[in-house]
Amino acid sequence: MVLSVVGGGARDSSATSAKSASSTPTSPPSSSESARAPTVVDPAADLDQQLRDAAWAGDVATAQQLIAAGADVNAKDSTYQSAYLISTSEGPLELARLMLANGADLSSLDSYDGTGLIRAAERGLALIAGELVQAGIDLDHVNNIGYQAIHEAVWFGADDQPSTDTVRVLVAAGADLDTPSESEGLTPLQMAQQKGYPASAATLTAAQGAPIADPDAALLAAASAGDADGVAVALRSGADIEARDDRERTALLLASTYDRVDVARLLVAMGADPDALDDRHDTPWLVTGVTGSVAMLEALLPAQPDLTIVNRFGGVSVIPASERGHVEYVARVVQTGIDVNHVNEPGWTALLEAVVYGDGSAPYQQIVTILLEAGADPSIADAQGITALQHAQQRGQSEVAAIIESYS
């Protein structure tokens, strides 16, 4: 159990008296220190303490420097907090990944004998829980107040997306759902019912259904239908997360195609490949450029998709998004570092497609502006040597032409 800290992304630790009584004493940053400003590495000071301080601040860059200088991610202070354990309850995801990549001891326990998974589960940090599950952490460890991770996710959670996502991750991973907590004497399902959390209760109820004869088929069907509980149960039943349908589409690609965001979040947390290609050379990430779903884009980003993979036309996702007038998507995707000047096989950039396939209306004017602000080069011509400005002029798109001229 862990205390809530300002800026740590945790829920209120005073939600129940039991939670308050079982919280681990810590020395987190004060509210004035929690803006996550970079920490200066002092070689003469205790590197391990500096690393713990960086972990409390969520300062990934400084943590990297300290680890390179020899700081131990598993070194604990007097309250049994290590940088690794702090990262599991405070995040961000990149910090937890850094700790795991640098020798985090998955068996390490806090002062309440809680693992990193128990800490992440309490906070509703589904993505971190998923990373720990993939790393092989004990799913069913019991802390010294009698809770497993699944109990913490439900009892100290809420009827909200983070808690529901976390419960689904633990169900999908195969966590024990039958053992009651020692204090309340309730199973996870009974906890969800007593708390009045219908989403978590539905997930836990689904996991107690009849065995699945063909888990792979069930996984693909549930992903297509947007049934996140069905996906969790299929994975729990042994489905291959990279199983393919007759068009070589994985569950994550199906979720992306049909904009099943709840499903995508679960699959990403469980390690699904965002770059898996189907028979049309689409990936889960590439499909977002066609659908224009910003929510799906956000769901996939934690999976670290390869933004350079191209579709069957040789284009990256910003090109079809610009062609189709997906303003919000283009505004978000240019922030990812995607190449806004990538040229596809027909010879088009995103800017050229926004003009050639657009109609010069307000959405396309916005897209042209966004692309130019992001560094799109208006001097790049198409395969016939015609620039975006010339195309706009030829098509009578006077507003678009004026925008391009202002950046030329």
Q: What percent of the chain has pLDDT over 70?
A: 89
Helix (H) or strand (E) holding 282: none
Q: What percent of the chain has pLDDT over 90?
A: 88
Provide the pLDDT for residue 40: 60
Q: What is the mean pLDDT of residues 245-261?
A: 98
Q: What distance in Å separates the CA atoms of residue 407 and residue 163, rounded to the nearest whole number? A: 47
AA letter at 152: E
Provide the pLDDT for residue 39: 52
Provide the pLDDT for residue 210: 83
Q: What distance in Å separates the CA atoms of residue 127 and residue 303, rounded to the nearest whole number? A: 10
Provide the pLDDT for residue 211: 86
Please check whether residue 209 is in contact with residue 233, taking contact to mean a CB–CB distance below 8 angstroms: yes
AA letter at 141: H
The model's pTM: 0.89
Provide the pLDDT for residue 42: 67
Helix (H, G, I), strand (E, B) or coil at 387: strand
Q: What is the mean pLDDT of residues 265-288?
A: 98
Provide the pLDDT for residue 408: 83
Looking at the predicted structure, is the pLDDT value of residue 89 above 90?
yes
Does the 307-407 domain belong in CATH 3.30.365.10?
no
* Confidence class for position 43, pLDDT limits 50, 70, 90: low
Provide the pLDDT for residue 190: 98
Q: DSSP assignment of 176-237, as one string? A: --SPPPTTT---HHHHHHHHT-HHHHHHHHHTTSPPPS-HHHHHHHHHHHT-HHHHHHHHHT
Of the candidates 38, 39, 37, 108, the residue with the CA atom closest to the CA atom of residue 72: 108
Provide the pLDDT for residue 209: 87
Provide the pLDDT for residue 34: 35
Q: What distance in Å separates the CA atoms of residue 58 and residue 54, rounded to the nearest whole number? A: 6
Q: What is the mean pLDDT of residues 178-205?
A: 97
Q: What distance in Å separates the CA atoms of residue 263 and residue 120, rounded to the nearest whole number? A: 20
Burial class (CB in 10 A: 0-12, 13-18, 19+), 209: exposed
Judge if 17-206 and 307-407 fold alike in CATH terms.
yes
Q: What is the mean pLDDT of residues 92-112?
A: 98
Q: What is the mean pLDDT of residues 181-198?
A: 96
Looking at the predicted structure, is the pLDDT value of residue 205 above 80?
yes
Q: What is the mean pLDDT of residues 143-168?
A: 97
Q: How many CA atoms lie within 13 A of 149 on its CB side?
A: 34
Looking at the predicted structure, is the pLDDT value of residue 18 above 80?
no
Residue 366 structure tokens: 């916005």
Looking at the predicted structure, is the pLDDT value of residue 322 above 60?
yes
Looking at the predicted structure, is the pLDDT value of residue 19 above 50?
no
CA separation (Å) from 138 to 118, 162, 181, 385?
Answer: 10, 21, 17, 60
The CA-based dihedral angle spanning residues 284, 287, 293, 298, taken in that order and rounded to the nearest 10 degrees: 30
Note the pLDDT tens digit of each residue in 335-351. Answer: 999 999 999 999 999 99
- Contacts of the segment 292-298: beta carbons below 8 A, 24+ positions apart: 292/321, 292/324, 292/326, 292/328, 292/329, 293/256, 293/259, 293/261, 293/329, 294/328, 294/329, 294/332, 295/259, 295/261, 296/255, 296/256, 296/259, 296/261, 296/264, 297/329, 297/332, 297/333, 298/332
Q: Under CATH, which architecture does the 17-206 domain have? A: Alpha Horseshoe (1.25)
Q: Where are the domains of the chain?
A: 17-206, 307-407
Q: What distance in Å separates the CA atoms of residue 81 and residue 79, rounded to the nearest whole number? A: 5
Residue 87: which residues within 8 A CB-CB, separation 6 or more? Answer: 55, 95, 96, 98, 99, 116, 128
DSSP state of 333: H
* Confidence class for position 32, pLDDT limits 50, 70, 90: very low
The mean predicted confidence, pLDDT, of the chain is 91
Looking at the predicted structure, is the pLDDT value of residue 193 above 60?
yes
Looking at the predicted structure, is the pLDDT value of residue 23 above 50?
no
Q: What is the mean pLDDT of residues 290-302?
A: 98
Please tell me which residue, 21 or 404, carries the higher pLDDT value: 404
